[in-house]
Each structure stands twice: as structure tokens, then as C-alpha cells.
Structure 1
Amino acid sequence: MITVDGVWKRYGRGPMVLTGIDTALAPGSVTAVLGENGCGKSTLLRIAAGITVPTRGAVRGRPGSVSYLPERFPDQLRLSARAYLRHFARVRRLPTRVELLDRLGFAGDLDQPMSELSKGNAQKVGLTQTFGPVGGFLVLDEPWAGLDVAARAILSDLVREAAEAGATVLVTDHTGAAAKLPGATVYRMTEGQLRPVEDVGLVEVVVTCTSEAADQMAKLPGVQSVRRMP
């Protein structure tokens, strides 16, 4: 069991970003954190993963295997996608799971620098690295962002499969995909605190538009699926 015990965080002399976060993350569970940009979601994930030190409080029970996916890769990341995957495989002493790239529909050049890949292809490489280990602690910051519709569905399957294999999954998500995962615990970050979300509703909207416009709508944040009527 991973526990977040009374975690507070401020940067420099600024205001508190997190104000006494307490939560427990069980093996085999998925915990989703929702909230507006700048509310502290990413800070909480970095603290949970052990990347950022809290101002007060602690994270206890963190396992030895932690996989962290940032919301954005560094702009100047010159490693090729192939080298990036090989590097993390060597660090973890695990084989590179290239089959995950195929499953996610990677369509880029593995020898191209990560900084030159499209957002979607870079995300698929990052996800392949993140889901390399089996079990452990998966910390995913907006993993569905930038993915095409088919890859979003595959990612949902990967998260579910990881939890079923015993992994603890902590994820932020603005698309609504995480909240739809079976058994997911959903919180909203408000004023530096986690508040349970009992019901995350979805709304179906019927519009008349061109096929091209429908394709664009499918890429909008929060859109789960686009169904074309006969």
C-alpha cells in the first residue's frame, strides 16, 4: 500500500500548491486526479513518484519499481526514440517491449530524435517505456493527451491490464478516459486538496457536420468517441 501522508508543497515563497493531501493507493487500483491547469495535479504526481520533495509530509510504501510519464517531454531531448527505449531497458534490466509501439500504432521513425517526433508519436514512445515493467507503481501525467482515437482505447486497455497484474496506477486526465476505467477512484484537485468525485457524467451531443469536422472533433479534449450516424 502506498500512502500519501499529510503532503504540503510550496515553491519558494509562493502560496501552498498542495495543502495536506492524504490518500492511500492500493496494489491493483487506478486512481484518477482531475482538475484545472495549474491546480497542483502534476506536483502531486511528481511527489508521489519521488521526483519532487514535499514541503511537509511524506509518501510511504513506494515500491522499488516506479514508472513515470511526464505530461511533456523536454523540448531539447536529442535521444532517438530507439535509444530512449534502449536506455530505460538497460536501467531496468528488462527487454525493450517494441510490440507496445505496434499496439499503440506508432507511425514515426525510431531513429528520429524524440524532440522531432509529433506529440502523438512521442507519447507512444513514452508509454512504451512506462509500461515496460510488470507491476510496480505507474504514475502517468495526462497520458491520453495527443493520442488518436484508436490509441486512446489501447491505452485504456493497457492501464486496465496493468492494474489487473497488480500495478498501482496514479493518473491525471482531462479527457474523461480514466474516469471510465472499471473500478477507478476519481478525485478532483480543488484548492490544493483532493475531493472525491462520486459521479463523472458523460454527455452525448448530436451535431450535423462534415466528415472532416467530425475527425477534428474526435481530437478535442474530453471527447471520448465520435459515432457517425447512417
Structure 2
Amino acid sequence: MRLEGVGRRHRTGGPWIVRDVALDVPAGTLIRIHGANGSGKSTLLRLIAGIDTPSTGRITGRPRTTAYVPERFPAALPFTAAGYLTAMGRVHGLRRGAAERAGRTWLERLGAGPYANTPLGELSKGSSQKVAVAQALLAPPGGLLALDEAWTGLDPASRAVLDRTVTERVAEGTAVVFVDHDPHRLAGRPDAAYDVAGGRVRPSAVLLDERARGRPRVRVEVQGPPGAALPDGLPGAPHADGHRLTVAAAHSDALLHALLTARPAWHIRSVTPVEEEDPS
């Protein structure tokens, strides 16, 4: 999935919430979005999930299966918790019986099983959040999962369930993009992180410990025109040591494409896997 020159504003001539966003979201990757309150993080996630449409630019390659946990769950819906999850399971392609079973299973896993027959409007904030998380996890692996402060309001046990499930979904090929107020959430696991500030989305300055993740990496040696600087916003937020770029392997194709199609284009001298014992 790729965002190219994407911008969003509520009306023509109005202020941009985000603009000129260039972002790759490969399958099987975990991407964290950082930013202050009101910076546009939620708007970016809604664009990625297909809830909002860009005012400018384009988004290509979005998986057919997309699931989304909003920052604010609309609890005042005319369903019980189990009834809502059954309906959402049907949206994700499950037969009614399978959708009902899956919904109740996720409620149990998240510690909300006793509230299956409770109307949504009568649930506590924490239980409502568990329903919000459960409806997204009904989607089959291999698509796109966007989580906007999904951990907020959950108890420690259900937060741990969500942590494990995100890791499992990524391993199964799901692209997961998330926002969370806890800077230690899934620490060491994201393949890339981006900061949202002033309407712009940039590779994050937060150091990602790729070795701790144990995820495969590649090193790309490049050569550009004399005096040229590397392009901004390269996919995967690669670590640059001169003209040697190290990036998670899942982002390598997008990185090579960005370098080869840059103006001026960059020459790729070599692409090699990084061994775990490599100190750099």
C-alpha cells in the first residue's frame, strides 16, 4: 500500500490537516505513528484505513480486508455487544454462526464475556473499548489493521492480549499501523515510525532497535549525483551511514523504487542482507 502526495482538509481553501504525505505500508509490517494531540494522527489513520478520502494525492494498493479501531467508539448503537460483533463479523465475510462464535470468543479473550448480551450504551468505557478492539480483530489476517489509541481504557490483561495479537497478525502478513500514547508500547517491534507535526509526516527521530526485533534487514549501497542529498521521507525510515542505507527487509522494495524514481535518480550499487552480529 502506498500514499503519494496525500493531503486532507475539510473544505476547499480550509487549513490542511495533513499534506504531501508519502508513505509505504508493506504487508507484514508494523508501523507506529507519533505526534502531539491535534497533530493529524487520527486523520492519517483514517486515510490509511479508507474511512476518509484524500483531498489531494492518491492511495494505491490498499488490501481488500481492512479493520479499524477508532479513537472514539460510537457506543450508542442499537446492539448488544454480541449482536454488534456478529454484524461486524458478517461485514468481514463470516457466516452468521461463525461471526457469532468469533465475536463471543474475542469478548472472552479480552475479559468481556459476561457482557455479551449487554446493550452497547450500558457498557463501561473499558468494556466498550474491548468491543471496539474485538470488532477489528474479527477481520482475517493478511489485510490492514489500523489502531488509533486502541489500548486506551483496556485493563493490563486485555492490553497484553492485544499486544500478542498484533505481533501474531504481523507475522501472518497483516500490515498494522498504530497510534498509542505509551511510548513503550510494542517497544523494539515496529519496522518503521513516523512523526506527524505541522501537517507533515516524516520518518521518526525515535531510534528503532531492529536487532532487538530480530527482523531481517538489508543494506543498500547507493550512489547519487555529486553533492546531492538523499531524498526525504524514504520508505521504512532507513538508517543512513553516508550512502549505506539499512532498512527492514519488508521495506526494501519500496526503498529501491523510491531511490530509482527520485529526481535525480540514485544508482543502486549493492543490496545485501545484514547479519545479526553486524555491529552497525
Kept after mapping to 2: 8 A contact 1:29/1:184: yes
SS at match of 2:36: coil
**Counterpart residue identity of residue 144, structure 1:** W
Q: CA deviation at 1:10?
A: 1.0
Kept after mapping to 1: 8 A contact 2:18/2:201: no
- Within-5 A mapping of 1:2-151: 2-12=1-11, 13-94=13-94, 95-96=98-99, 97=102, 98-106=104-112, 108-132=114-138, 133-151=140-158
Q: CA deviation at 1:75?
A: 4.7
Q: CA deviation at 1:117?
A: 1.1
Which residue is equivalent to 2:192? 185
Post-superposition Cα deviations, 1:102-141, rounded to whole Å, max 9, x if no partner, equal 2222255212222221121111112121112222111111
Kept after mapping to 2: 8 A contact 1:68/1:140: yes
Give the percent of matched residue pairs that are identical in Structure 1 and Structure 2: 38
Q: TM-score, normalised by structure 1?
A: 0.81
Kept after mapping to 2: 8 A contact 1:39/1:190: yes
Cα separation, 2, equivalents of 1:84 and 1:121: 13
| Structure 2: tracts of 5 or more residues without a match | 209-280
Cα separation, 2, equivalents of 1:107 and 1:129: 14
SS at match of 2:115: coil
Cα separation, 2, equivalents of 1:16 and 1:115: 34
Are 1:155 and 2:155 an aligned pair? no
**Alpha carbons of 1:148 and 1:5: their partners in 2 closer, same or farther (altered >3 Å)?**
same
2:178 alignment partner, one of 162, 171, 177? 171
| Structure 1: tracts of 5 or more residues without a match | 202-230
Larger RCO of the pair (alpha carbons < 8 Å, separation 6+): 1
Kept after mapping to 2: 8 A contact 1:29/1:167: yes
Cα separation, 2, equivalents of 1:52 and 1:103: 31
Post-superposition Cα deviations, 1:16-46, rounded to whole Å, max 9, x if no partner, equal 1112110101111011111112111111111
Cα separation, 1, equivalents of 2:18 and 2:62: 19
Count of aligned pairs between the two proteins:
200
Kept after mapping to 1: 8 A contact 2:163/2:186: no
**Alpha carbons of 1:183 and 1:31: their partners in 2 closer, same or farther (altered >3 Å)?**
closer
Q: TM-score, normalised by structure 2?
A: 0.67
The two structures, once aligned, show a CA RMSD in angstroms of: 1.8
Which residue is equivalent to 1:194? 201
Q: CA deviation at 1:144?
A: 0.7
SS at match of 2:17: strand
